[in-house]
């Protein structure tokens, strides 16, 4: 099989992915989040690690995450993001919306074939 070309991130999906990651794994720093996304996608995502920063700002401004500084196990300082109650609610809504959306797209694509 040909090696898959990395796919660019679909507009608006990064926020959802980050929220999901935080909900599953608990508080994470930016590097942890980026790592997790890369692992899950099996490197299929074309993700520069710096790309997630605007999304992190957005989420924090919405009040869906809260950032605070602390130490990693190896005693490095890092800003940890935790999902808030409002964030959990938003995650639920966004998940539903995404399922609907991708369902529609899937259906359309299936009919075309």
Partner 1 sequence: MLSRSRRILSRFRNLFRNNRAEEELAREVASHLTLLADDFERRGMAPEEAQLAAKRAYGGVEQAKQAHRDERSLLWIEQTIQDLRYALRMLAKSPGFATVAILTLALGIGANTAIFSVVDAVMLRSVAAEDPQRLVIFSWSSRHDPKLNGLSSYGDCDDNTRDCSFSVPFYEALRSHTATFSGVMAFGGGLDVDFSGNGPANIARGEFVSGGYFSTIGTKTIMGRPLGLADDAPTASPAIVLDYSYWQRAFGADPSAVGRTVRLDNVDVAIVGVAEQNFTSLTPGKSQDFFMPLSLAKRIRGEWGTQDRLSDPATWWVVLGGRLKPGVSIGQAQAEATTLFHAEVLNGAKPIFSEGDAPTLQLLPAREALNGESNQIAAMLELIMTAVGLVLLIACTNVAGLILARSANRQKELAMVASGWWIVASDLRGITLRNCVSFCELPVLGDFLATSH
| Strand segments (E) across the chain | 28-29, 65-71, 77-83
Number of residues that bind partner 1 (CB under 8 A): 24
Question: Applying CB under 8 A, does 36 fall inside the site for partner 1?
Answer: no
CB of 61 to partner 1, least distance (A): 4
Nearest CA-CA partner of 59 in 32, 25, 23, 24: 23
Question: Applying CB under 8 A, does 68 fall inside the site for partner 1?
Answer: no
Using the rule CB under 8 A, give the single segment among 7-15, 19-27, 68-76, 101-109 that binds partner 1. 68-76
Burial class, 22, CB count within 10 angstroms (exposed 0-12 / middle 13-18 / buried 19+): buried
Positions touching partner 1 (CB under 8 A) are 29-31, 48-51, 53-54, 57-58, 60-64, 72, 74, 76-79, 86, 90
């Amino acid at each position: 099989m040909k090696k898959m070309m990395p796919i660019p991130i679909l507009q608006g999906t990064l926020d959802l992915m980050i929220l999901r990651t935080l909900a599953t794994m608990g508080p994470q720093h930016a590097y942890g989040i980026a790592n997790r996304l890369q692992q899950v996608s099996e490197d299929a995502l074309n993700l520069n690690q710096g790309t997630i920063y605007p999304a992190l700002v957005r989420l924090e401004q919405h009040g869906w995450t809260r950032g605070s500084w602390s130490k990693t196990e190896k005693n490095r300082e890092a800003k940890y993001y935790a999902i808030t109650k409002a964030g959990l609610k938003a995650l639920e809504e966004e998940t539903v919306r995404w399922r609907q959306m991708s369902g529609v797209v899937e259906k359309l694509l299936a009919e075309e074939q």
